[in-house]
Copies of this chain bind each other. A is one copy, B any other.
């Protein structure tokens, strides 16, 4: 195998081709891509640029050649951040994988990640973008726009259609990509088709991701997708898997604020219980407005019981109708919120919702499913479930319903979680409007 031999004064090595991944051929001909990736055998081709063309005092060769496979454009350079005055105090670079990277949610999210808005102004990041064969050209387009944005913190961008390659060494995996439901497809069919994707991605995470990777599943049906992913990644703590219910939480806060005539920052302690579906339970019993129980502030309890939940859930559908597109921007914002809630300490007395693993939960919710519950974090990436919540009959009845649904979904994907033969008895269609 030929290995690149470059003196430090030449910075770059070039293009290759591989069997599984695509190599990027843009007008720029100086690309690095040292092969093979951990799973795919492929040729290493390396070449230097003409020595008289460039001076690159900053860029240095990667220590581990495998780390730089499938990089894109300017992001193929490697940096000794400790060698530079401006970047010396930065944290160690972290790898963040994003699936469905060519989609609209990602088109908002990636730029937020790269700008430093999520992980802070001293956290350099590497983005590893997972797409499909069909979306690969679009992935290149996304990477080009990231180049043109000149984000100082964005130090690497890789694009690939191979989850094993993308998830190698990642500290965060944001799993946004999922197949949309085809015409006439039942929820069971959707569970199966997406479940297979998340089973594969779980295996890939298990094989190569950081042992402490945090996995946030956005692609629907996200709770059960997260369960499938987790079950296929036995070497990663179950606690590290999340299903996104933060957009529901944000919408619920906004609707309570609107009803109460206060700004949304006055609403706290908002829990979404259960499944990210129409059985979800936005909890107005424990939520607070200006520190007071919601029911003391909003006296229209009929509205709370009969209209509030529907308002939260119909939001996506109303939006599609008005705007002609699904709520990509606010979904991306809620993903940012969800990540920030894990990397910054939760404000005293407050909490946030996330779909997490139920085993060991203090609420008596069935074990071994992924269920949205109230969480607090010390800002270390981990969380604990909140103990001081109250229940009444109305809340419990609804929690039982969403729990039953998630148990049914689990039976429906038993073939994907290694628990025998699937049996599907999903009673009704519970996809949220606007998320078909």
Contacts and interface: CB of A to CB of B under 8 A. Distances in A.
A181 interface: no
Interface string A280-318: 000000000110100001111000000000010011001
B300 A53 contact: yes
Nearest to A328: B107
Interface stretch (A63-71, A147-155, A219-227): A147-155
Contact of A150 (B26, B264, B297, B321): B264
Interface in A244-286: 247, 250-251, 253-255, 257-266
Interface stretch (A73-81, A374-382, A387-395): A73-81
Contacts of A79: 263
A262 B144 contact: no
B259 A28 contact: yes
Given A74-B254, A107-B329, A261-B59, A323 B53 contact: no
A149 B333 contact: yes
A184 interface: no
A266 B253 CA distance: 44
Nearest to A111: B329
A18 interface: no
Given A117-B117, A290-B58, A141 B322 contact: yes
A290 B258 contact: no
Contacts of A258: 28, 30, 73-74, 147
Contacts of A46: none
A258 B24 CA distance: 14
A11 B323 contact: no
A138 interface: yes
Nearest to A54: B261
Contacts of A337: 150
A203 interface: no
Contacts of A10: 261
A49 B261 contact: yes
A155 B264 CA distance: 10
B115 A250 contact: no
A186 B238 CA distance: 61
Given A74-B257, A258-B28, A323-B138, A265 B152 contact: yes
A329 B56 contact: no
Contact of A30 (B26, B261, B264, B323): B261
Contacts of A73: 258
A145 interface: yes
Nearest to A296: B55
Contact of A149 (B26, B49, B330): B330
Contacts of A297: 54-55
Interface in A96-111: 102, 107-108, 111
B329 A149 contact: yes
A148 to B, nearest CB: 4
Contacts of A57: 262, 290
Contacts of A173: none
B260 A55 contact: yes
A169 interface: no
Contact of A58 (B117, B149, B262): B262
A265 B319 contact: no
A315 B115 contact: no
A349 to B, nearest CB: 14
A73 B146 CA distance: 34
Residue among A263, A298, A322 having the largest count of chain B Cβ atoms under 10 Å: A263
A11 B261 contact: yes
Given A58-B262, A140-B322, 11 more contacts: A49-B261, A57-B262, A74-B264, A77-B261, A79-B263, A108-B111, A144-B315, A148-B315, A148-B334, A150-B253, A150-B337
Interface of A: 10-12, 26-28, 30, 49, 52-59, 73-74, 77, 79, 102, 107-108, 111, 115, 117, 137-138, 140-142, 144-152, 155, 247, 250-251, 253-255, 257-266, 289-290, 292, 297-300, 311, 314-315, 318-319, 321-325, 327, 329-330, 332-334, 337
Nearest first, the 6 A-B pairs at minimum CB distance are A141-B323, A141-B322, A11-B261, A145-B330, A149-B333, A12-B261
